[in-house]
């Protein structure tokens, strides 16, 4: 049965494959040709393997033969110096901006106080809370509007229930005084670090701020 199948395949593909395969088989029957082909294959493998070995292991063998030079540590001084200069420049710029802002704030505050707007504070310790009263006196010749008192509470000091960190006084006519009371819970915070500011709109429609003065503590 197998012989029959083989014969059928030979009848189908024989006319195509025999002209190609038969010359190859005929040539391989020559002993000298087979030896030459085998020798060529062996030498080709040896040459390719030698080249691969030289590429991968050549540097190591070269270092072993001529001696390896000590590797110098990579210097990072220029990059570090550049980074330090950039940080120094940024810090100097921030410092200059902060000093300029502080100077402008002091100049504005002096100008506002000279115009007659004055802020006073009084702190009274109670049994369960601390009462802070902020008083704003408008000694100028015109009304001030949108008066707001905003506290800057340090850690450990929080507004009591029903009280808020920021309160509005509204408008204060010339020569009059308004005040607001803040109830604060003291939870280990430092009262000396309690701060804030009073913000209002003047006659020239310019928003102005006055920092809260040193807080006076009532007995």
What pTM did the predictor assign?
A: 0.47
User: Which of 140, 141, 123, 129 lies closest to 187, judged by CA?
Assistant: 129
CB-hemisphere CA count at 13 Å for 99? 6
Give pLDDT, residue 43. 92
What DSSP designation does 140 have?
S
Give pLDDT, residue 108. 45
A 10 A CB-CB count for 78 gives 8
Read off the pLDDT band of 53 (50, 70, 90): confident
Q: Could you tell me the fold of the domain covering 116-218?
A: Immunoglobulin-like (2.60.40)
- In this predicted structure, the answer to whether residue 7 has a pLDDT above a threshold of 60 is yes
Domains of the chain by residue range? 2-65, 78-115, 116-218
- Convert the pLDDT of each residue in 143-182 to its tens digit: 999 999 999 988 888 888 888 889 999 999 999 999 999 9
């Amino acid at each position: 049965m197998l012989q029959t199948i083989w014969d059928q395949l030979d009848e189908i593909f024989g006319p195509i494959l025999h002209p190609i395969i038969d010359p190859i088989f005929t040539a391989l029957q020559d002993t000298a040709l087979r030896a030459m082909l085998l020798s060529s294959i062996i030498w080709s493998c040896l040459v390719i393997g030698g080249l691969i070995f030289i590429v991968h292991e050549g540097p190591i063998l070269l270092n072993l033969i001529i001696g390896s030079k000590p590797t110098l540590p990579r210097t990072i001084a220029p990059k570090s110096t550049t980074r330090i200069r950039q940080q120094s420049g940024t810090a100097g710029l921030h410092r200059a901006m902060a000093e300029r802002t502080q100077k402008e704030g002091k100049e504005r505050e002096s100008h506002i106080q000279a115009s007659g707007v004055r802020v006073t504070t009084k702190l009274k310790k109670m049994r369960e809370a601390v009462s802070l009263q902020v008083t704003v006196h408008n000694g100028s010749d015109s009304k001030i509007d949108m008066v707001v008192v905003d506290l800057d509470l340090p850690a450990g000091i929080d507004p009591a229930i029903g009280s808020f960190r920021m309160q509005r006084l509204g408008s204060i006519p010339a020569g009059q005084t308004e005040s607001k009371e803040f109830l604060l819970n003291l939870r280990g915070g430092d009262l000396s670090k309690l701060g804030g500011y009073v913000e209002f709109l003047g006659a020239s429609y310019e928003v102005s701020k006055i920092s809260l003065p040193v807080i006076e503590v009532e007995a």
